[in-house]
Amino acid sequence: MWDSSLLNFVPIYVNDQAIHGQVLLVNNMRIFVSFVYGMCDRNARLTLWDDLIHCADRFRNEPWVVLGDFNVTRHGGEHSASRRVTKAMKDFNSVNTKYELEDMRGVGFHFNWSNMRVGSEAVSKKIDRALGNWWWFKTVGDSYAMYHTPGISDHSPVSIQMRDRQPYRGRPFKFLNYWDENDRFLSIVKQEWDKDYSGSPVVVIHKKLKCLKGQLRELCTRPDSKVKELRKILHSVQNDLRCGVSYPNVVEKERQLRKEIGQEARMEEAFFKQKSRIQWLKEGDSNTAYFHRMVKVRQSKNHIVRIRDETGNWVEREDDIAQVATLARS
């Protein structure tokens, strides 16, 4: 199950459907791991969900990964013969949502279990998986789950591949939707678009967009910092009012600050909604802490783990991946 020369696994809780324990990695980093084997019966799995809920509280502030055979899928696309969402699937998803467990980036076999039959009787499912909590994605975000070839088994073995964090190389430009609410947005675009450049129409467009990127980056790219500053000013003004400090237009200043904070908070919410790519209820309450976390989860999943070169071989080293990608574009 693990290489004892690379890690030391110490069991903490053991029951019929899971083994929970602590691992000390070679770099002295402590993580918690739960190996799961879920029962086939939905009602029998309810004790597993209760067990995971207990562990979620226990490991809330530690990196924790849960992996194994859950004996239930999460989504309709994880069953080769049916897209129906069952009550058992809803139970599983409810636990994951409530205690902020999310699938790790997966590589290899999508359907990791089959009934070993052929023709119309063949059924494949994704019932083996690896889930991480918020602290896992924050501290071990470059890891991914590898689903290996099944061999003679009806299951594909799953292992967690842990990589060194990649060095920061700058961020690619991304247009933030809330920028178009800025009073300066249209004037900035018009100013850059009115400039004259030499070259073909395609070259001219490229030059204008490149210059426009630099101008747009000067707009606030993190609205949460502006909201934080405005709230600090508002608290100061409200303290003056509470203490009876009087100066011209203090009441009007408080009203104006409340209005500005409301506007900036909406931009802050839009920013994190776009970054996390989460479809959210329009009438829902603001919950930016949740979106902070989902941004981290998406970033963890949104990296290229390996790529196939022109000879059909898999390349996993980062430098080699970049070289293959460059050749593919050319």
- Kindly report the backbone phi and psi dihedral angles of residue 62, in degrees, each rounded to the nearest multiple of 5, phi listed first: -135, 150
CA angle 70, 300, 72 (to 5 degrees): 15
- Tell me: do 154 and 54 sit in the same domain: yes
Report the C-alpha gap between 164 and 162 in whole angstroms. Answer: 7
Nearest to 160 by CA among 30, 325, 1, 18: 1
* Residue 136 within a domain: yes
Query: Could you tell me how far CA 303 lies from the centroid of its own chain?
Result: 11
Contacts of 26 (CB under 8 A, 6+ apart): 6, 7
Last residue of a domain, one of 162, 188, 214: 162
Nearest to 110 by CA among 93, 97, 127, 96: 127
* Residue 186 within a domain: no
- Tell me: do 20 and 128 sit in the same domain: yes
* Residue 86 within a domain: yes
User: What are the pLDDT tens digits along the chain (330 aa)?
Assistant: 555 566 688 999 899 999 999 998 877 889 999 999 999 999 999 999 999 988 988 898 899 999 999 999 999 899 998 889 999 999 999 988 888 888 988 888 899 999 989 888 899 999 999 999 988 888 886 788 999 988 889 999 998 887 765 555 666 677 777 777 777 888 888 988 888 888 888 888 888 888 888 888 777 656 667 777 888 888 888 887 777 777 777 788 888 888 888 877 777 777 777 666 544 444 345 556 666 666 667 666 666 667 777 777 877 766 665 665 555 555
275, 278, 280, 285: CA torsion to nearest 10: -50
- Tell me: do 151 and 23 sit in the same domain: yes
Domain CATH code at residue 143: 3.60.10.10
Burial class (CB in 10 A: 0-12, 13-18, 19+), 292: middle
Tell me the two tokens of residue 204: 């001219």
Domain count, the chain: 2
Last residue of a domain, one of 121, 143, 162: 162
Residue 43: CB atoms within 10 Å: 9
Q: For the chain, give percent helix, strand, coil, nearest 5.
A: 45, 15, 40
Domain housing 296: 223-329
* Residue 269 within a domain: yes
Report the C-alpha gap between 78 and 80 in whole angstroms. Answer: 7
Report the C-alpha gap between 157 and 107 in whole angstroms. Answer: 12
